[in-house]
């Protein structure tokens, strides 16, 4: 059954899923469904994977500009899109919220790693689009991002970092359900 998600096509192959230090393999369908909604479940659980090179932990660093009204108390979500083996691939949505920290405030940079990053995700290859979603909640929901970087910790031992630096503040409107795409990642 197809819901609000995007149906991704992939070839039949074994699914290798890392849970702690355990690896298990099982057959998977030829299609995988990944929700387009913020807060969606882990994409790897429903995506066909061939090896450890297909499983990635993503760490994100987001910097809010140092200009008037740049900070926000709204819920900010993000997802990455890349091209891998000729197909568009997405990560799950990540809520940029560090518990106990007033993050996404003027002039602040916050890194979301470990349990606060995205774990056991599909390898998107080279990222080419970042999507930011602002739910418009709380005080002063508008937000201005100045830079964004992602470090891909590929389960085969490879690490890659890509960054996006804004020439001027990149504002997200505070309207409910607002999304904006950002392009232009540079390998670091």
Q: What are phi and psi of 78, to 5 degrees?
A: -140, 155
pLDDT computed for residue 81 by the predictor: 94
Assess contact for 90 and 79: CB atoms under 8 A. yes
Q: What is the CATH number of the domain that holds 115?
A: 2.60.60.20
Residue 74 lies in a domain: yes
Dihedrals phi, psi of 172, to nearest 5 degrees: -110, 130
Q: The domain containing residue 169 runs over which residues?
A: 55-187
Note whether residue 105 is domain-resident.
yes
Half-sphere exposure of 119 (CA within 13 A, CB side): 8
Q: 186 pLDDT exceeds 90?
A: no
Q: Is 94 exposed, middle or buried (0-12, 13-18, 19+ CB in 10 A)?
A: buried
> Is residue 47 in some structural domain?
no
How does the average pLDDT of the chain come out, rounded? 74
CA distance 62 to 85: 28
Cβ atoms of residues 2 and 59 within 8 Å = no
pLDDT tens digits, 94-132? 999 888 888 899 999 999 998 888 999 999 988 989 999
Length of the chain: 188
pLDDT digits 0-9 by tens, 158-177: 999 999 888 888 888 766 66
Q: Are 142 and 173 in contact (CB under 8 A)?
A: yes
Domain count, the chain: 1
């Amino acid at each position: 059954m197809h819901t609000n998600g995007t149906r991704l096509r992939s070839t039949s192959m074994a699914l290798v899923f890392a849970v702690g230090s355990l690896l298990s393999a099982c057959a998977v369908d030829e299609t995988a469904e990944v929700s387009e909604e913020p807060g969606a479940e882990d994409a790897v659980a429903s995506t066909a994977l061939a090896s450890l090179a297909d499983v990635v932990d993503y760490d994100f660093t987001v910097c809010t500009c140092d200009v008037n009204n740049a900070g926000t108390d709204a819920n900010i979500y993000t997802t990455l899109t890349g091209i891998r083996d000729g197909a568009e691939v997405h990560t799950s949505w990540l809520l940029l919220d560090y518990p106990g920290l007033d993050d996404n405030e003027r002039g602040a940079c916050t890194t979301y790693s470990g349990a606060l990053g995205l774990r056991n995700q599909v390898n998107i290859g080279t990222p080419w689009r970042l999507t930011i979603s602002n739910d418009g909640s709380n005080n002063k929901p508008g937000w201005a991002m100045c830079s964004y970087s992602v470090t891909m910790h590929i389960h085969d031992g490879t690490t890659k970092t890509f960054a996006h630096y804004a020439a001027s503040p990149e504002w997200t409107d505070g309207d409910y359900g607002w999304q904006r795409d950002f392009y232009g990642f540079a390998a670091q």
